[in-house]
Amino acid sequence: MEGKLHSKKLTYELWKDFEELFNRHNGVRGGCWCTFYLCKSSQFDKMSREERREYHKRLIQTGKSTGILIYLDEKPVGWCQVAGPKLIHRFDTGRDYSKLNLQDNEKPDWRISCIFTDKNHRKQGIGKFAASEAMKYIESEGGGVVEVFPFDLSYRGITGMQHNGSVSLFKNLGFNEVTRLGKNTVLMRKTIGGRDGQT
């Protein structure tokens, strides 16, 4: 792969780059626009593709950041959704997650929910790079407890659903498996630095 990979925190000034990347893939995964984990199930199901795009855009317009963009030189080629649980809050209402009796030192300051690579740049290590850059970003923002929710890709029927990352990817980044959420989602956790991160 020619060129240099680097990451940037998504701000409103970079929204056009986010749109460029997602427009190349029809909003990604049926027009999700990476809003699935940013809203309630009832909201997501009622919104059209365009409404999801606008929903995400409004969050960014208010000064919130929902992740980091990955660039190959100046072209956006990847995305990692990383933010605090106030933004990435859909997991909290999940049947299995809501039953967890989390201790204070286990409650998340950050979540990584999605990793996406442009279709023309896959199998080049961009997803791994995005996850590593997310770790650096979290540390630069104060650190804290980080939750990830990769799929167990050995489970039959979900080999194509890899937008949450893989268990092996996060194990290599120092995450530990906490529990299973349903048949194929694995909750993993890691603490980076102190606990004064974003909530």
Q: Does domain 5-192 have CATH number 3.40.630.30?
A: yes
Residue 149 burial (CB < 10 Å; 0-12/13-18/19+)? buried
- Model confidence over 83-99: pLDDT tens digits? 999 999 999 998 899 99
Contact between 21 and 9 under an 8 Å Cβ cutoff? The reply is no
Q: What is the pTM of this model?
A: 0.92
- Say which amino acid occupies 141: E
CA dihedral 37, 42, 44, 45 (to 10 degrees): 140
- Model confidence over 27-57: pLDDT tens digits? 998 899 999 999 999 999 999 999 999 999 9
Contact between 66 and 87 under an 8 Å Cβ cutoff? The reply is yes
